[in-house]
Amino acid sequence: MITIRLVGTERLQAKFDRLQNLGAVLARPIRDGIMLMNTDLRRYPPTSEANRPPSPPPGHFYVRGIGGFYLRKNGVPRRTTPSQRLGVSWTMRYTNTATIARGELVTGVTYAPYVHDRDKQAHFHAKRGWPTVQALFAKHGPRIVDNMAGAVRQALAS
C-alpha cells in the first residue's frame, strides 16, 4: 500500500478558503467592467440631419431628450413620439453572493434593441455611429476578463 501525506498545506487551504468567497473577489472587476460599458452606452454620436427639422418641410425629425416630430408643410411641428431618454436609462445591477458575482446593464426603453443590438439595429442608427452592446463588449471584454483574472491571481497570492 502507498500512502501520500501532504504536510504544510495550511497556506494552500487558506487560499482555497478565500476563493470560497469568489463573489467578493470578482465584485470590483465586474462593477468596473459594467461601468465601462455603461459609459459608452450613454455617449451619443454627434447629431445629424435626423436631429434637425427638414428643409423644406414636410418631414420627420427627432429632438434628443424630447422626442420625434413631424414638420408639416406649413412649417408647424407636430410631436409624434415622446423621448424615453435612452442614454440615461441604462442602469447597472449587481448580485454578489459567496459563489456568484454578476453585473447587468438594463434599460426599459422600448426602442433600445433597434439602436444598440447587433441583430436588430436599424441601418440608419449604424450609419450614424450608434454602438451595439456586442461591439462594446468586443472592445472592453478582454480588459474585463483580464481584470477578473487579476483579482483571482491576487486573491491566490495573498
Task: Give the pLDDT of residue 128.
Answer: 96
Give 13-29 pLDDT, tens digit per residue. 777 676 677 788 888 99
pTM tops 0.85, yes or no: no
Contact 57, 71 (CB under 8 A): yes
Query: What grid cell was written down for 122?
Result: 436599424
What are the residues whose beta carbons fall under 8 Å from the beta carbon of 31, sequence distance 6 or more? Answer: 92, 94, 103
Within the chain, where are the H helices? 10-19, 22-42, 86-89, 112-116, 123-127, 133-157
